Structure 1
Amino acid sequence: MTTIHYIEFEGPTHEIDVEDGWSVMKGAVYNAVPGIDAECGGACTCATCHVRVDEAWADRLPAPDPAERDTLEFAKDVGERSRLACQLKVHPGLHGLVVHLPESQT
């Protein structure tokens, strides 16, 4: 298990132990973290699992692939640290990862 910190837009932090091999999105959905809609179920087609990776982690993740970059164009308030949580695979090297949830996914 790897601990991921999900920070709501203007709310609490959810510290969740997520199964290695799952996505950051799946960890949020299975633990009822508000703010991750995940309408496409992790298929990288809807952008409703948009998160902003904390600045301390931005350089520690692989760059988004072209499909993720294209899908992020449909997300609201995208920034330079925006990612789709469905595309971030959990592994022990992500222990302590912090992601910030946007105000809205739509």
Structure 2
Amino acid sequence: MPIVTYILRDGERLELEVPAGISVMEAAVHNNVRGIDAECGGCLSCATCHVYVDASSVAQMPTPDEAELELLEGAATERRPESRLSCQLIMTPAMNGLVVRIPQKQG
């Protein structure tokens, strides 16, 4: 199974095996990862699952669509080039080793 490393707000690193077809957000919620609020449950309507994708992982990511980009404009924390909504990052075997950093706040 692909592995995702979540870097928490305090710098702690949490590695999880995430089955292909499951979003980075779903895996975080099911494993009680602190800092991924996911208020809308992954419906692409709140931006409370905002993460920063590590530079080593950016090339593995699919391109965000217009709806994701629009929601990122309203994220509670600074939007950066590596900003993504974790509900839109659906794991594939090619994404093994993905590293995401959780912003200081979500809502």
TM-score, with structure 1 as normaliser: 0.96
Match of 1:55 in 2: 55
Listed one character per residue, the Cα deviations across residues 35-67 of structure 1 (whole Å, up to 9, x for unaligned) are: 000000001110000000001111221210000
Deviation per CA, 1:55-94: give whole Å up to 9, x if none. 1111221210000001111112111100000000001111
Aligned to 1:98: 99
Distance 1:88 1:22 in 2: 8
2-side partners of 1:88 and 1:14: how far apart? 17
- The alpha carbon displacement at 1:11 in A equals 2.8
Partner Cα separation in structure 2 for residue 77 and residue 30 of structure 1: 26
Count of residues in correspondence between the two structures = 106
Runs of at least 5 residues in structure 1 that lack an aligned partner in the other structure: none
What's the CA shift for 1:14? 0.6
Say what the alpha-carbon RMSD is for the aligned residues: 0.8
Query: Does the aligned pair in 1 maintain the 2:2–2:20 contact within 8 Å?
Result: yes
Q: Is the partner of 1:55 in helix, strand or coil?
A: coil
User: Identity over the aligned pairs, expressed in percent?
Assistant: 48
* 1:5 has 2:5 as partner: yes
Q: Hey, what does 2:87 align to over in structure 1? A: 86
TM-score (norm 2): 0.95
Unaligned stretches of 5+ residues in structure 2: none
Shift of 1:10: 2.1
